[in-house]
Structure 1
């Protein structure tokens, strides 16, 4: 996955026990974070060490610091229900001292990054090549001065949950792995993370697609050719070219047709109320903000010519691609789009030529 805060950080991911985990340690720099021994080379290998207060808010959108329960579920998944061999399965197969390597059976690749601690008052680094310690988001039952974390050691094949001070004079800085929230998924083509939402019997992307493609297969552009607008609205995609390519949506997702858009409208109290319930709660020209009752979060990303030479409709209109082509005499050869207008509570279908560029929401197969 790619950290949207910077293009310089991307992380391998792995699915274990039905959940998606980062398979590398977080390396995003926070004020109270450390490279082991103050050596930036160690950050490149092992990631950074974080105090708990920063770790809780560190993960990118769609990802979270795992709870104690989520770590325990991981231990069960890789240890066949037991913690006795879980450490061996989670540890990398190299880099641990004194034959303490694991099998890395599931690709989690836990590295012996050690930890930083002020426990003895000297703010020292400990355990490089001998131990891995990962924060959880769960405070201990004894109070707010300590939290749970996962501990792996070179001397044992087991994994265990430990308690670490988080405040006062004896606090710790540990490694961080993030877990994907259950209502998000990762597009494996470019590592971007998207929220998804179930409405009625359908599962929709709850954010606009922002897939650029690669090389000669690059497709779409940012509104006004401004990259910040891709981060806000996703890309605008030429309708006909996008439909012909057939692969713009991530694996397991597809471009919706008008029948599927109608099914969505029916599930949100009808087409006459669709804009009210599907529009995001901010970002629209007044009175266009909706109540986003179902979490679809439609954004007013506008439209453009195929080349991106001109764009209009930002903050006033959302047009979403449908792969349905009009067959009547009045609009034959044109394509329908689902349209939300800032001044209307209802949704509509607007037909465009195939060279018009609009936003894309993908629907789960």
Structure 2
């Protein structure tokens, strides 16, 4: 029986491959994988480039250094050596505030100094800083990260100087959220379930109820796994807060208010079905859908949103945290 009133007793081919799940970039020229971090519209290598064919010098620790003539050609396809503007924006984003010193040290890693190939002894220079290549400069200029003070600035180096290289790539904000932009589907990396998504006010919303971590038919409407496939699984409030994949989250009360403010755009057949799990019974599954928000106003309750399909109305209530409601995940495109 599917319709209830009241309660019943009874989840292109590219040269460079980018993985946004762990923010890593694979250089297909030699198979090396470089970790990276997002800042602004770029992903920044957090590992020094180590492409053997263009290395100019390696020190005793086998760190790779490059001369200016090889900087631009050294980065993997789809990435580039950052210029002064990009480095300045990155430094402003990452190397300011009370943690600037620790952030500079962390980003610089263990590499220190630069080498002058004109020096026959190849002694290290500038041992209290890390030096990184700069794109499109007159003369040999580099970005210096002072690991003693946490400062960063552009410096001039000798003509035969060699430095380390960090590459950057343009961010694909959709791919970082596991979304195929053509299909507008998100693939949950934890179980490969696919969910349709849509963009609303610079936020991506799932258009289907989450099914992740489905382990028992008791998590489903009527305790029948068929309905988890159809409607998604029920979550308690505490489960719901931890249910979304990395980079996504359970919407708070304000986000739900923004989502439903233009009711003419709502898909009532999609939202207003599946009911809820109400202790040892179930809500009306054919005309209502109940969803958790991350907001909690009163002790042992979570703010919920109920969508009524036939009436095209919405009820906003506070439900006991042990009840079973659905989860829709949301994320910002940044």
Same fold, TM exceeding 0.5? no
TM-score by length of 2: 0.44
The higher relative CO (CA closer than 8 Å, separation ≥ 6) is in 2
Q: Which structure would you say has the larger Rg?
A: 2
